[in-house]
Structure 1
Amino acid sequence: MRQLPLEMTIAATVRTAECAGHHGLAVTLGHSPDDPLALRMDLYVTGAELPDTTWVFGRDLLATGLILPTGEGDVRVRPHGEDETDVELVSGRAWCVVRMAADDVREFVAGTRCAADSCDEEIGTALDRMLAETLRRGATNTDSQPPHT
C-alpha cells in the first residue's frame, strides 16, 4: 500500500532577532512518500496564500527534537517544557524560533512513520542485493590476499 503525501497546518508562534516577543503564524508541515526521510515546513507569516518561506530538513530531526535537543547548523529542534516544541532556523545572521504544540508535532511525525519504515526496508533490500551480487561475482579483498612467496 502506497502512502499518500501528508500535510498538516499548525498554529504556532515565532520569535525573531528583529522583533521582541512571540508573534502568531501558521505553519504547514509536509511529507512526501517520494522523499520519506525529509519534511517541508512552510511558514505563513503574512497570511498570504503562498508561504513566506519554506525549510526542508530531516524527518528524524523533528522526531528526535520532541524528546531532546538535536541538530547542528541551520536547523535545531528541542522540547520547550512538556507541551511545546521549538524549531530554531538560522540563515546567516538572521534567526527565528518557531514554537508549536508538541502534540501537533507528534501527530504529524506519527503520520510519517509508515513511509520512513518503508524507506528503511527498501534500503535494506538494496544493500542485500548489492552484497549478494558482489559475492556472486566472487569479488576479493586485495588486503586479504596471501603474501607472495
Structure 2
Amino acid sequence: MPAETVVEQAVRTRMVASAPRMETVPATLRYDRQDPFAVHMTFPAPATLAGVAVSWTFSRDLLQAGVSAPAGLGDVRIRPYGYDRTVLEFHAFEGVAMVHLHTAELRRFLKRTETLVPCGFEHLHLDLDQDVADLLRGW
C-alpha cells in the first residue's frame, strides 16, 4: 500500500461579518508532502463574494504558531480566540475576510501533517533538482 502523501480535512468555519449572526462556511485544509512548508485552505465558490473557489496558501509554521499566540504580519494572520477557537484573517485588495475555526480541528489537522513530515524535516522532502529544472524550462 503506497504511503499517504496528502492530508485533506474538511472544516466548518464561521465567517465574521458586521451582522450579529456568523454564517457557517465550509472549507478544506490541505497539506501535501511535496510542498512541505505550505498549507492550503480552500473555500468553495458558493462561500465567496466572487462566486469562484478561493484558495489561500500560507506556512504550516504560521498555522502552528497562530493556534497558541497571534502570528502573521502579511496577508494571512492567525490568533487564538477564547479557549476553543482560532481566528484566521485573510487580507486582500478587496478587503479582509475573517473566519473562526475550532482550535481542536486545527490541532488535529496539524498532527496529521506531522505524521507525513515532522516539523524541522521539511527540507528532506524538497526536490531541488526538479524545482531548478522547472525554473529553467523554456530559457
Q: Normalised by the shorter chain, which TM-score bucket? A: 0.7 to 0.9
Alignment of 1:76-95 (within 5 A): 76-95=77-96
Q: Deviations over 1:48-75 (max 9, x none)?
A: 9x96211000011111111000000110
Structure 1 match to 2:5:
4
Corresponding residue SS for 2:46: coil
- Structure 2: unaligned runs, 5 residues or longer: 129-139
Count of residue pairs the alignment pairs up: 120
Amino acid in structure 2 at the alignment position of 1:119: E
Question: Are the aligned partners of 1:36 and 1:112 in contact in 2 as well (CA < 8 Å)?
Answer: no
Question: Are the aligned partners of 1:80 and 1:86 in contact in 2 as well (CA < 8 Å)?
Answer: yes
TM-score (norm 1): 0.71
Structure 1 match to 2:14:
13
Structure ranking higher in helix proportion: 1
Cα deviation for residue 27 of structure 1 reads: 1.1
Distance between the aligned counterparts of 2:52 and 2:112, measured in 1? Answer: 22
Q: Which has the larger radius of gyration?
A: 1
Structure 2 match to 1:110:
111
Q: Give the 3 Å change call, closer, same or farther, for CA 90–110 of structure 1 in structure 2.
A: same
Cα deviation for residue 93 of structure 1 reads: 4.8
TM-score (norm 2): 0.76
Of the three residues 115, 119, 122, the one matched with 1:119 is: 122
- Tell me the percent identity: 26
Distance between the aligned counterparts of 1:75 and 1:60, measured in 2? Answer: 12
Amino acid in structure 2 at the alignment position of 1:88: E
Distance between the aligned counterparts of 1:87 and 1:44, measured in 2? Answer: 17
Question: Are the aligned partners of 1:7 and 1:28 in contact in 2 as well (CA < 8 Å)?
Answer: yes
Cα deviation for residue 82 of structure 1 reads: 1.2
Alignment of 1:1-149 (within 5 A): 2-16=3-17, 19-21=18-20, 22-44=22-44, 46=46, 52-117=53-118, 118-120=121-123, 122=124
Distance between the aligned counterparts of 1:72 and 1:94, measured in 2? Answer: 16
CA RMSD of aligned residues (A): 2.5
Corresponding residue SS for 2:122: helix
Cα deviation for residue 2 of structure 1 reads: 4.5
Corresponding residue SS for 1:46: helix
Distance between the aligned counterparts of 1:82 and 1:104, measured in 2? Answer: 13
